[in-house]
Amino acid sequence: MVKIYQKAPEFTTDGYYEGKIQKFSLNDWSGKWTVLFFYPLDFTFVCPTELQQFSEKFDAFKRLNTQVASVSVDSPYSHEAWSKNGLKEQRFPMLSDLNHAISTSYGCYLEDKGLALRATYIIDPQGNLQWYEQNPLNVGRDADEILRVLSALQTGELCQAGWKPGEDTLSKKLGKK
């Protein structure tokens, strides 16, 4: 399992994006921040609420020089079918982890269930893991909180509990940079 400050595991996989199936690699987003979020399965109940929220917040992530991508153990063809029959097109790539190698390398694969936890990883432009969170299968995550953490990481400063973008950081309050 990857740990904070370590290189995020590289991968190449098929995914669905902008109406077609194509190849994606973590290396494609080198030089940008990356939010990689895993979800259990297509055609479920909680997952579409999360994917839709990330899609709605896509412009906010883009303003922070951040690429968002989702990952599940479904095939890219399942992602395509879900996007065309119920979910609607997402504004980010939906990646396939059919062989479970990506979710295993990131430490969020549940072998006994054959799927990934709801896990989110923030990777810096140099490819290092800076933050992660894992949620149980029945509880969705909040894209606004991930945006808050991403903004805090991008300051490079000490950010106190409850810090929000636009507020002074603890570093500024203490006169340190």
Residue of higher predicted confidence among 88 and 164: 164
pLDDT-based confidence at 87, cuts 50/70/90? confident
Q: Looking at residue 141, what is its pLDDT? A: 93
- What percent of the chain is predicted at pLDDT more than 90? 83
pLDDT score of 67 more than 90: yes
Q: Looking at residue 24, what is its pLDDT? A: 98
Catalytic residues: 47
* Token reading at 152: 């805090």
Separation of alpha carbons 150 and 121, rounded Å: 10
Closest among 108, 97, 125, 88 to 7, alpha carbons compared: 125
What average pLDDT score do residues 84-95 get?
88
User: Does residue 146 sit in helix, strand or coil?
Assistant: helix
Structure confidence by residue, pLDDT tens digits, 120-169 = 999 999 999 999 999 999 999 999 999 999 999 999 999 999 999 999 88
Would residue 167 count as lying in a domain? Answer: no
Would residue 147 count as lying in a domain? Answer: no
For the chain, the average pLDDT equals 94
pLDDT-based confidence at 177, cuts 50/70/90? low
- Segments forming the whole domain that contains residue 71: 12-141
Would residue 95 count as lying in a domain? Answer: yes
Would residue 33 count as lying in a domain? Answer: yes
CATH of the domain at 42: 3.40.30.10
Q: Please, which contacts does 96-104 make with residues 24 or more away whose CB atoms are closer than 8 Å?
A: 96/13, 96/14, 96/15, 96/16, 96/71, 96/72, 97/13, 97/38, 97/71, 97/72, 97/73, 98/73, 98/74, 100/73, 101/11, 102/9, 102/11, 102/13, 102/71, 103/38, 103/71, 103/73
- Contact (CB, 8 A) for 125 and 33: yes
pLDDT score of 173 more than 80: no
Would residue 18 count as lying in a domain? Answer: yes
pLDDT score of 18 more than 70: yes
What average pLDDT score do residues 48-58 get?
93
Structure confidence by residue, pLDDT tens digits, 134-147 = 999 999 999 999 99
Number of folded domains in the chain?
1
pLDDT score of 172 more than 90: no
Would residue 128 count as lying in a domain? Answer: yes
Would residue 171 count as lying in a domain? Answer: no
Would residue 66 count as lying in a domain? Answer: yes
